[in-house]
Amino acid sequence: MRTITANESSSSIPDFTEWMREHYVLVLSQSRRMLVVREDAEDVTQAVFVKAWKAWDGFQGNEVQRRAWLLRIARNAVVDAARKRKIRRMASIDLVLEERTESVFSADDFQGDRILASLHAAVSTLPPKQRWVFQARYFDARSYAELSEETGTSEGALKASYHHARKKVESLLREDAELIFQA
């Protein structure tokens, strides 16, 4: 187990705190898109930075590599959390989408419109890995090359994953749009 002396602590923590301040919202926003419940996203984000802190002194690399390292930790954490929090769906997909759209739309930290809320609801029904690829690509416009390096998955596989996710989301959103229009 790693032992931390007082000197080591005082020299690394301030740098880490500053770095965490710069990247906290980045990780929190990814977690928030991946997990329906805000508290879950906050818990996972905190866990990501605690994990990063544990390996802080052992990490060798420049700032870009450190950021990529953080995103890799975040990605593994949110995908794991999404898997663990997977709820067996008993209701119809329409009802699930409606409930989740309402949940996002009425959340204190959401300021988008209802269509955007229904997009988040549709994304939340995707399998965790597909969900992660979709949100990283759609919202953050991250390149396949970067995602490939981060995940160790080929660019082709990532493109296929995004394509499948996009088709599912488009299909779900059309149904949702019809329901909203009828109402």
Partner 1 sequence: MMFPTDDTPTKRDDGFRFDPDAVERGMDAVGRAVQVQESPGVPWRAIAAAIMLVVGLGLFIQLWQNPKPCISWACQLEELSDEELDGMLDLLNEDEATDLWADDDGWTGHF
120 binds partner 1, rule: CB under 8 A? yes
Q: How far is the CB of 12 from partner 1 (least distance, A)?
A: 10
On whether the CB atoms of residues 78 and 35 are closer than 8 A, the answer is: yes
142 lies in the binding site for partner 1 (CB under 8 A): yes
C-alpha pair distances (Å), 151 with each of 71, 79, 121, 157: 10, 12, 25, 11
Q: Which is nearer to partner 1, 91 or 145 (CB)?
A: 145
Q: How far is residue 102's CA from residue 106's CA, in Å, rounded to a whole number?
A: 6
Rounded CA-CA distance 161/52 in Å is: 28
Contact 129, 154 (CB under 8 A): no
Does position 49 interact with partner 1 (CB under 8 A)? The reply is yes
Which of 11, 65, 143, 171: binder of partner 1 (CB under 8 A)? Answer: 143
Q: Quick check: 73 binds partner 1 (CB under 8 A)?
A: no
Listing DSSP states for 43-56 in one string gives HHHHHHHHHHHHTT
Residue number, 54 or 83, with CB nearest to partner 1:
54
96 or 117, CB closer to partner 1?
Answer: 117
- If one asks whether residue 65 binds partner 1 (CB under 8 A), the answer comes out as no
Closest CA to 32 of 48, 44, 22: 44
Q: Please report how many Cα atoms fall inside a 13 Å half-sphere around the Cα of residue 60, on the Cβ side.
A: 0
DSSP 142: -
Q: Is there binding between residue 21 and partner 1 (CB under 8 A)?
A: yes
Looking at the Cβ atoms of 67 and 166, the one nearer to partner 1 is 166
Based on the shown chain and the rule CB under 8 A, indicate whether residue 46 belongs to the binding site for partner 1.
Answer: yes
Q: Which is nearer to partner 1, 92 or 111 (CB)?
A: 111
Residue numbers of the site for partner 1 (CB under 8 A)?
4, 9, 13, 17, 20-21, 24-25, 28-29, 32-33, 42, 45-46, 49-50, 53-54, 104, 108-113, 115-117, 119-120, 135, 137-144, 159, 166, 170, 173
